[in-house]
């Protein structure tokens, strides 16, 4: 990597906005990158995007079959609270690092900065591929579940309808293209879209809460809601089933770290993005509790919900409680609106992650994927690649629906481990690089970091487990297989190209006057490039 100079140019009248915070572009240049994207997103917008990607009511609804199998009320409610607290620790750990290194590279860049020069390239390579695959598969799982949920609406009127594989995949492709189109033609409205998501989600949760509690003919007791535990459907030992059921909450509370990829589109990223990461988890945790408790109070027969042919019981739940197909669809429509915000936000984050990783030459065809389209001021080709990869992954559904469903686990594993690696490196280096962070965890930092690392290790094992036993081929959790497949691609590409050509992101080095200069890092140490050499390398690239 080479030193790059900051650009003050902006399109669509954003030059005045950029002038409001020249330090943001200066800090980015100090980290070795040119500012190419307009800084037109606010903290509330980033908070909205993070909140949208987690899409609490949508995520909890589409994965409800997991907790209905593995413990029911206790797993649903207390599992959510437990994972919310753990996620808050992870979010705080990431926010502390983000305040020091606010760049679109996110965890991939942080691993390189926190590691020693000798291990920076391999640390950034591993973290980068984990977060890239995690971003891609999360966007895929969100939009595939969205497609399934749309098709499930048909069963509100035609209960025996079961969509074919072709119908499911075609619907998935349609929603992927819809989300891509909104990212392209609505790029300048993303700030508004992300803010609207907060109000839509809040209003939807309140409407669902009031409707369910007011229209239910019968209600469960408080003892059932807060103390019922039944893991008999899982086949797992009673205690272990609770932990397997945590996948519902962990999958939903995953995408908060992805918004670091938007750092280069925020006015004051070192201050605003860390706050947005943490506040989004707090907001998601509270929203989940408010959403889950009324659902548990009106929960129909569990066996009836688990026997739904399309695997999406939430529509049937709404229909049963309201007593009509129209009423059920009205509530389902609110969930579908939340899905759309999530699908758009996940694809936005995935495209920015792809752009940032390609910028440092870590993806085949990086010269194409790192380009920023000047018409829309977005990394258009990275968006195309993220959409194309998702659509191709959808073909797996023709071979095995269980294998495709494992992308839920893969996204959770990849993103969790990618979050854990920079935290691990920081702990191993005694947190020296973050001790002056403007979002410091202070004396609790070590304890919080260690707690998050222990959870991530446990989660990696848990989310490779099948939801229930005995295991058959069509119900097997193939998360470990899919994860190993992507890991194999990463390793092969490293030996084909990365070992020789990948230097990692540019590493800032402090000069005597305190001004930082970006330098390349290879496997043996640092290499400072003079101005002439920088120009020659830039011209060659």
Tell me: pLDDT of 8 over 50.
Answer: no
Tell me: pLDDT of 217 over 60.
Answer: yes
CATH code linked to domain 40-500 = 1.20.1740.10
Q: pLDDT tens for residues 183-194?
A: 999 988 888 888
Do β-strands 516-521 and 507-510 pair in parallel, antiparallel, or remain unpaired? antiparallel
pTM, two decimals, is 0.84
Q: pLDDT tens for residues 243-259?
A: 999 999 998 998 888 78
Give the pLDDT band of residue 15 (cuts 50, 70, 90). very low
pLDDT of residue 227: 97
CB atoms within 10 A of CB 166: 10
pLDDT of residue 6: 38
Q: What is the mean pLDDT of residues 86-112?
A: 91
Higher pLDDT, 149 or 485: 149
Four-point Cα dihedral 204, 192, 60, 485, nearest 10? 160
Sort 517 into a burial class: Cβ within 10 Å, 0-12 / 13-18 / 19+. middle
> What is the average pLDDT score of the chain?
84
pLDDT of residue 474: 67
**Nearest-angstrom CA–CA distance, 488 and 469:** 29
Our CA angle for 412, 312, 212, nearest 5°, is 105
Q: What is the mean pLDDT of residues 162-167?
A: 91
Residues 6+ positions from 132 with CB-CB distance below 8 Å: 108, 353, 354, 357, 363
Q: What is the mean pLDDT of residues 339-352?
A: 93
Q: pLDDT tens for residues 414-453?
A: 999 999 999 999 999 999 999 889 999 999 999 999 999 9
**Nearest-angstrom CA–CA distance, 54 and 44:** 15
pLDDT of residue 508: 59
Percentage of the chain lying above the pLDDT 90 cut? 52
pLDDT of residue 534: 40
Q: What is the mean pLDDT of residues 100-113?
A: 86
pLDDT of residue 22: 66
Tell me: pLDDT of 538 over 70.
Answer: no
């Amino acid at each position: 990597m080479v030193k790059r100079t900051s650009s003050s140019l902006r399109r669509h009248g954003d030059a005045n906005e950029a002038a409001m915070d020249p330090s943001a572009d200066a800090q980015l240049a100090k980290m070795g990158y040119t500012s190419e994207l307009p800084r037109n997103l606010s903290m509330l917008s980033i908070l909205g995007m993070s909140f949208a990607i987690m899409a609490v009511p949508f995520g909890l609804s589409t994965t409800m079959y997991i907790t209905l199998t593995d413990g029911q009320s206790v797993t649903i409610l207390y599992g959510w609270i437990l994972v919310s607290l753990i996620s808050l620790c992870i979010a705080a750990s990431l926010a502390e690092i983000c305040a020091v290194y606010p760049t679109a590279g996110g965890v991939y860049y942080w691993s390189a900065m926190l590691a020693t020069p000798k291990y920076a390239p391999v640390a950034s390579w591993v973290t980068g591929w984990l977060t890239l695959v995690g971003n891609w598969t999360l966007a895929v799982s969100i939009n595939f579940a969205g497609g399934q949920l749309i098709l499930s609406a048909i069963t509100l009127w035609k209960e025996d309808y079961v969509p074919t594989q072709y119908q499911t995949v075609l619907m998935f492709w349609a929603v992927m293209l819809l989300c891509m189109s909104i990212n392209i033609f609505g790029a300048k409205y993303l700030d508004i879209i992300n803010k609207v998501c907060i109000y839509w989600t809040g209003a939807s949760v309140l409407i669902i809460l009031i409707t369910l509690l007011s229209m239910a003919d019968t209600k469960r007791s408080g003892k059932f809601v807060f103390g019922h535990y039944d893991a008999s459907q899982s086949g797992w030992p009673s205690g272990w089933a609770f932990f397997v059921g945590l996948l519902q909450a962990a999958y939903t509370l995953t995408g908060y770290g992805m918004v670091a990829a938007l750092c280069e589109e925020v006015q004051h990223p070192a201050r605003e993005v860390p706050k947005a990461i943490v506040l989004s988890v707090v907001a998601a945790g509270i929203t989940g509790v408010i959403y889950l408790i009324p659902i548990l109070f009106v929960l129909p027969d569990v066996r009836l919900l688990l026997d739904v042919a399309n695997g999406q019981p939430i529509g049937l739940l709404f229909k049963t409680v309201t007593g009509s197909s129209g009423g059920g669809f009205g509530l389902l429509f609110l969930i579908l609106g939340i899905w759309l915000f999530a699908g758009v936000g996940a694809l936005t984050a995935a495209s920015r992650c792809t752009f940032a990783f390609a910028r440092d030459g870590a993806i085949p065809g990086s010269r194409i994927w790192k380009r920023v389209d000047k018409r829309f001021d977005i990394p258009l080709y990275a968006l195309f690649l993220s959409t194309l990869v998702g659509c191709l992954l959808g073909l797996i559904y023709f071979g095995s629906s269980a294998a495709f469903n494992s992308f839920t686990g893969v996204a959770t594993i990849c993103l969790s481990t990618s979050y854990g690696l920079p935290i691990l490196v920081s702990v191993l280096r005694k947190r020296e690089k973050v001790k002056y962070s403007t979002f410091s965890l202070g004396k609790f930092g070590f304890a919080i970091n260690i707690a998050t690392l222990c959870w991530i290790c446990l989660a990696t094992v848990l989310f490779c487990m099948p939801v229930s036993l005995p295991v058959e081929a069509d119900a097997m959790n193939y998360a470990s297989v899919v994860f190993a497949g992507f890991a194999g691609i990463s390793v092969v590409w490293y030996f084909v190209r990365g070992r020789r050509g990948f230097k990692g992101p540019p590493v800032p080095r402090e000069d005597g006057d305190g001004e930082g200069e970006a330098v390349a890092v290879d496997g043996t140490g640092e290499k400072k490039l003079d101005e002439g050499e920088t120009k020659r390398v830039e011209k060659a690239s």
